[in-house]
Structure 1
Amino acid sequence: MLFFLDSAKLDEIEYAIKRWKIDGVTTNPRHLANAKMKVEQFIEKIKPLVENTNISVSIEVNPHLNDAESMIEEAQRIASMCENFVIKIPATEAGFEALSVLSKKGVKVNVTLVFNVVQALQAARLGAYYISPFVGWKEERGDYDVDFISNVVRAVKNYGFKSKILIAAVRSARHFTEAALAGADIITASFEVYKRSFENPYSSLGLDIFKDSWDQIQK
């Protein structure tokens, strides 16, 4: 499984690349707003960090675009700026129409805001590079389905589609576990979720016990 960071904050991204060796970055308009950057500013700053690496960066088209032609135009413009860029297109009728054109033109597309198996299958059929089912949003609204991730993964892989399943809106280490056991290809999470998941109170407890024992044998 590949680990992606879900953020637009350059300090977090640089830290995660250096310390955690993350495989990619995903962002969206909300992350850009939190980082107080326009998409053009983010592109300018992220490009030098990922060029000549295998780190992919998913960048979303303007969410106000509601027709395929406009999405296609913006997606091609952003994709042309760096080979590492993957373009996020929403799982809507217009988004799928744009995907069918972009995939044939060789533009890597991350179909985002996927909330059911049918959306995932349509994205796979039309050549999505990444498919991003959102888990946290469903859970936060009382609509959590423990089989959601596994159903998406199984449905897409049943037919040998090449699309990679990228689990998004991850909120906890449990989501990591469910994604890994279901066979998802990638997981993307915030800086804070990684920090919480990498650490564990039992690890800290064990380290304290070992420190005490170490001090005893040094007396």
Structure 2
Amino acid sequence: MKFFIDTANLNDIKEAEALGILDGVTTNPSLMAKEKISGDKNVREHYKKICDITDGDVSAEVISTDFEGMRKEAEELVKIADNIVVKIPMIKDGVKALAWASSQGIRTNCTLVFSAGQAILAAKAGATYVSPFIGRIDDIGWDGMTLISDIAEIYAVQGFDTEILAASIRSGKHIVDAAKAGADVVTCGLSAIESLLNHPLTDNGLAKFLADHKKAAGL
């Protein structure tokens, strides 16, 4: 399973890269705003900085909601770097844009997916990635991991090549559950990734090893 980091913060991206586990980056307008990046020129320059840190896929989201606007944005975004993936929303014109992008050899990430039916449409239209939002589904009382399992089963049966990118990941447990459910990729903040490091038995074991070493060395 691939690990993407969901952020526009360059320091977090560098830290994930330094861990040796970074396969890509996802961003959105909200994450750009959080870093106080605004204006088309500044946003695209920031995407270039991200692409300079990692060779992995970097999802850059369109702002337009009409087909022609998304098409024009996609053409501009892919000029930034070879590893740019155009992030397109799951709406009617978005599906049209996914199909157009696929015909042009432009890789895409279909975002804001909340049902298996939407995932089927995205795959049929040729999306490279489909992004079910697990945490947001859980927030309304449904089970996001069931959706991942359903999409994985459908894609396997139908032979779709689209990769399942589990988004809106809130915790280390979400990461593990998404891996078990068949996600090809998870995207989340650095804190969720680093939480996988933590276990009290690891801490206790290391403390004992170090104490025994000091004792044996007469320190």
Normalising by structure 1, we get a TM-score of 0.91
What is the distance in 2 between the residues matched to 1:40 and 1:156? 38
Residue 55 of structure 2 is aligned to residue 54 of structure 1: yes
Amino acid at match of 1:70: G
Aligned Cα RMSD in Å?
1.8
Amino acid at match of 2:42: Q
Q: Which residue of 2 aligns with 1:191?
A: 190
What is the distance in 2 between the residues matched to 1:14 and 1:51? 10
Which has the higher mean CA deviation after the structures are superposed, 122-131 or 31-40?
A: 31-40
SS in 1 for 2:165: strand
Shift of 1:196: 1.7
| Aligned residue-pair number | 217
Contact 2:71 2:97 in 1 (8 A): yes
Q: Which residue of 2 aligns with 1:79?
A: 78
1:158-184 Cα deviation digits (max 9, x unpaired): 211111111111111121112212222
Q: 1:143/1:40 Cα in 2 relative to 1: closer, same or farther (>3 Å)?
A: farther
Amino acid at match of 1:195: E
Q: Which residue of 2 aligns with 1:133?
A: 132
Give the percent of matched residue pairs that are identical in Structure 1 and Structure 2: 35
1:12-54 Cα deviation digits (max 9, x unpaired): 1122112334010000011111111125324324425535963
Q: Which residue of 1 aligns with 2:123?
A: 124
Q: 1:192/1:40 Cα in 2 relative to 1: closer, same or farther (>3 Å)?
A: farther
What is the distance in 1 between the residues matched to 2:196 and 2:54? 26
Pairs within 5 Å for 1:29-178: 29-38=29-38, 40-48=41-49, 50=51, 54-62=55-63, 65-178=64-177
What is the distance in 2 between the residues matched to 1:89 and 1:208? 48
Normalising by structure 2, we get a TM-score of 0.91
Contact 2:132 2:165 in 1 (8 A): yes
Which has the higher mean CA deviation after the structures are superposed, 48-57 or 200-209?
A: 48-57
Contact 1:8 1:42 in 2 (8 A): no
Residue 2 of structure 2 is aligned to residue 2 of structure 1: yes
SS in 2 for 1:75: helix
Contact 1:10 1:46 in 2 (8 A): no
Contact 1:149 1:178 in 2 (8 A): no
**Gap regions ≥5 residues in structure 2:** none
What is the distance in 2 between the residues matched to 1:145 and 1:21? 24
Shift of 1:143: 2.3
Q: 1:178/1:71 Cα in 2 relative to 1: closer, same or farther (>3 Å)?
A: same
Give 4+ residue runs of structure 1 displaced > 4 Å after superposition.
Answer: none
SS in 1 for 2:68: helix
SS in 2 for 1:147: helix
